[in-house]
Amino acid sequence: MKYSVLVTGAHGFLGRYVAKTYGQAGFYVIGLGHGRWSASEAREWGVDEWHHADVDMDSLQKYASDMSIIIHCAGSGSVGFSLSNPMKDFERTVWTTHYVLEYIRTYSPKTRLLYPSSAAVYGNQEHLPLTTDMMPNPISPYGVHKNIVEELCDMYAKQYGVHVAVLRLFSVYGNGLEKQLLWDACSKLSQGINSFWGTGEETRDWVHVSDVALAFLIAGDKASARCPVVNVGTGKAVKIKEVLHMLFEAYGAQVLPSFGGEINVGNPNHYVADVNDIMTWGWAPTVSLRQGIEDYVRWYQRDDDGGVCS
């Protein structure tokens, strides 16, 4: 008998890769959220059933019965969106997760929850790499809302025995992502533009979405009433200008990136993860940054209007 999992937001960037990874591992995958796709396309991404609906108590009672695991990928995924739409970001992030937690507590106490949090909860810290025992210091509504959700997960785990695992994701990228730096860079190059915000000296910890999806598969056995929290990154800090140099080379650009020196509000200058905790789970990144960027550029140049997440 196949175990069933529910992936909210399965139509989105991260949700698709998580669904596909669970499907390949032999799970029966039910997707819930917004977005329209054919049954054949859904199956290509590992989704056996797709339900177009809000993530609320009614839809969870209708579609989430007898789930072994819920992976809650639905919600906001952008610092920029949270800055311009803080209330909507709160609704998408905090309210939907509270519905999932309350559904599990009330109707399905054996179901485990995996939650994709964000490095944004750290904000500006004095020391690197970032460890999960550091005090959160978010500097954007997005980070604040992710931190609220983490506290809800911890409370439901310890107060009600809900089995949860929280994965703090760093700079996730990969084919299909139609936002953030790589997409922006490819879009600019297609228009002959090579200028970017910031100084280029900012650092990020880049982790490929296929490796992140594998982390969620492994985390399914790690969720508990202790609510473990782990970072998901590579443990390597890479400057933005280095990433762009690799992308420009892969794109075949005859120019180099230039930077305007502006401050990117809501985003700390430097991020890198301490990944010791998740590596004790048996996880390690497998896709090199150069390979991931080359694959991304090939995807963009082949099908620049066929992304899965805007």
Q: Kindly indicate the confidence band of residue 306, based on its pLDDT and cuts at 50, 70 and 90.
A: very low
Contact status, residue 30 vs residue 5, Cβ threshold 8 Å:
yes
| Predicted confidence (pLDDT) at residue 308 exceeds the cutoff of 60 | no
Looking at residues 203-210, what average pLDDT do you find? 98
The predicted structure's pLDDT at residue 76: 83
Query: Given this model, what pLDDT does residue 162 score?
Result: 99
Task: Write out pLDDT tens, residues 79-121.
Answer: 989 999 999 999 999 999 999 999 999 999 999 999 999 999 9
For 17-47, write each residue's pLDDT tens digit.
999 999 999 999 999 999 999 989 999 999 9
Do the Cβ atoms of 19 and 29 come closer than 8 Å? yes
Mean pLDDT of the chain: 95
pLDDT at 126: 93
Confidence check: pLDDT of 188 > 50? yes
The backbone torsions φ and ψ at residue 127, rounded to the nearest 5 degrees and listed phi first, read -130, 150
pLDDT above 60 (res 309) = no
Residue ranges per domain, the chain? 4-173+207-235+272-285
pLDDT tens per residue, range 218-228: 999 999 999 99
Q: Which class is domain 4-173+207-235+272-285? A: alpha beta
How far, in Å, CA of 128 to CA of 309, rounded? 31
Region 64-72: mean pLDDT is 95
Strand partners, 177: 309
Predicted confidence band of residue 250 (pLDDT cuts 50, 70, 90)? very high
pLDDT of residue 48 exceeding 50, the answer is yes
- Give the separation between CA 268 and CA 281, rounded to whole angstroms: 28
Average pLDDT over every residue of 278-305? 94
Q: Are 168 and 194 in contact (CB under 8 A)?
A: no
Using pLDDT thresholds of 50, 70 and 90, give the confidence band for residue 304: low
The 10s digit of each residue's pLDDT in 255-285 is: 999 999 887 777 788 999 999 999 999 999 9
User: Residue 267's pLDDT is what?
Assistant: 79
Check whether 253 has a pLDDT greater than 80: yes
Helix (H, G, I), strand (E, B) or coil at 52: strand
